[in-house]
Amino acid sequence: MADKEAGRLLLIEALFGFVAAIFLVLVLKELRQIFIPFFVALFFYFMLNRLVRRLEKRRLPKPLILIGVLLLVFSSLFLLGLLIFNGASSFIDNFPLYSEKITRLVKDMLISLKLPMIDVQQYLAHIDWEKNIDPGKITAIVSGTLGNFSSLFGNLLLVVLLLMFMLAEKVSMAARITQALSKQRGEELQSMMATINARVQHYLFIKTLMSLATALLAAVILIIGGVDLVIFFSLLVFFLNFIPTFGSLVSTAFPVLIAFLKFGFCLRLIVIAAALMVMQFVMGNVIEPLVMGRSLDLSPIVILLSLIFWGWLWGVVGMFLSVPITAALKIYFESIPSLKPLAAALSSE
């Protein structure tokens, strides 16, 4: 009888947890305009908190440190926007050259396949690529993807403000919450938050260094190969390297595509593509795990599923944040006895 009652309670807890999880997902999706800036600010907090604390130990004034961090964040965002704009402008300027190459490649393909595509060839010959690739249309597409400028600027401002408040706190929110709990539960919460902070900080620090090294190596390969838009593609490699698996594929595909449009299918293209793929494989599957160690201890399939889930929930931003959020959830599950089996399922061991 006692076993049946215990099983019934366990089933009720599982159903309640399932319903609560669905409700939480719906809240996160509907209120993403609030949660995304908060989690992006938290992402920057984990990246910059160690630097701020070290500067505080050198007895530098806290306001001076925060102003410096503010300038660093704003200058980084400004530089990012400038590089993206220059890259897009260069692509638009060079598109007539690429359009000629596309037309020639399609014609050659139709001729080699010996298909009766005379009408298609005539259509391709009369396409005005410059009119079809209108910078205004590209701006509209980007605006529809990222939101209008005022909304984007407002989100960035909100992120910076949240980051400043997080870094300016003398006593963290977790420390204040522990004061309202029992001594044992407070110590457990502090230990859990310390573990999350240490592991996520270590992951982001190593990931940033590895992304920077990968971007520099990609720049060297592209410069030697004579590919256009080197700075833009190097920046793309740096940021997309934070997205597991798909990031490296996308950051490799774009420069290879531009090289194909510029040089056609030749030995140079094969060498460029092979060099980029080998570099990405060695950096992502050999050097990075060796340097990173088992800091997050997440299963590869869990990382892939979390990438898909957070990408569906919050788009590209969710893909960037998927690994740190999943790692934090795993550490949280480890602190609750009833959820330890779920934490074990997320682990790579």
pLDDT of residue 25: 82
Spatial separation of the C-alpha atoms in residues 177 and 1, rounded to whole Å: 40
- Cβ count within 10 A of residue 207: 19
What radius of gyration do the chain's Cα atoms show? 25
Reading the chain (349 residues) residue by residue, the pLDDT tens digits are 556 666 676 677 667 777 877 888 888 888 888 888 888 888 888 878 777 888 878 878 878 888 888 787 777 777 776 676 666 666 666 666 666 666 666 666 656 655 555 555 555 555 554 555 454 454 444 444 444 445 556 677 788 888 888 777 665 666 666 666 666 776 777 777 777 777 887 888 888 888 899 999 999 999 998 887 888 888 888 888 888 878 888 888 888 888 887 777 788 888 999 999 999 888 887 888 777 766 667 777 888 888 888 888 888 888 888 888 888 888 878 777 777 787 787 776 6
Nearest partner of 37 among 213, 156, 186, 166, judged by Cα:
156
pLDDT of residue 128: 53
Structure tokens at 343: 């934490």
- Residue 159 C-alpha from the chain's centroid: 16
Structure tokens at 149: 């400028």
**Phi-psi domain of 169 (left: phi exceeds 0; alpha: psi -120 through 50; beta: other):** beta
Question: Is residue 44 a contact partner of residue 160, using CB atoms and an 8 Å limit?
Answer: no
Structure tokens at 174: 């977790």
pLDDT of residue 126: 54
Question: Is residue 246 a contact partner of residue 318, using CB atoms and an 8 Å limit?
Answer: no
pLDDT of residue 43: 82
pLDDT of residue 1: 54
Question: Is residue 239 a contact partner of residue 319, using CB atoms and an 8 Å limit?
Answer: no
Q: What CA dihedral angle connects 214, 217, 222 and 228, to 10 degrees? A: 60
Angle at 96 between CA 93 and CA 254, to 5 degrees: 75
Nearest partner of 47 among 324, 348, 245, 347, judged by Cα:
324
pLDDT of residue 139: 45
Spatial separation of the C-alpha atoms in residues 197 and 161, rounded to whole Å: 21
Structure tokens at 126: 């009369």
pLDDT of residue 38: 86
pLDDT of residue 3: 62
pLDDT of residue 214: 92
What 3 state SS string does the chain have?
CHHHHHHHHHHHHHHHHHHHHHHHHHHHHHCHHHHHHHHHHHHHHHHHHHHHHHHHHCCCCHHHHHHHHHHHHHHHHHHHHHHHHHHHHHHHHHHHHHHHHHHHHHHHHHHHHCCCCHHHHHHHHCCCHHHHCCHHHHHHHHHHHHCCHHHHHHHHHHHHHHHHHHHHCCCCHHHHHHHCCCHHHHHHHHHHHHHHHHHHHHHHHHHHHHHHHHHHHHHHHHHHHCCCCHHHHHHHHHHHCCCCCHHHHHHHHHHHHHHHHHHCCCHHHHHHHHHHHHHHHHHHHHHHHHHHCCCCCCCHHHHHHHHHHHHHHHHHHHHHHHHHHHHHHHHHHHCCHHHHHHHHHHCCC
Spatial separation of the C-alpha atoms in residues 284 and 264, rounded to whole Å: 28
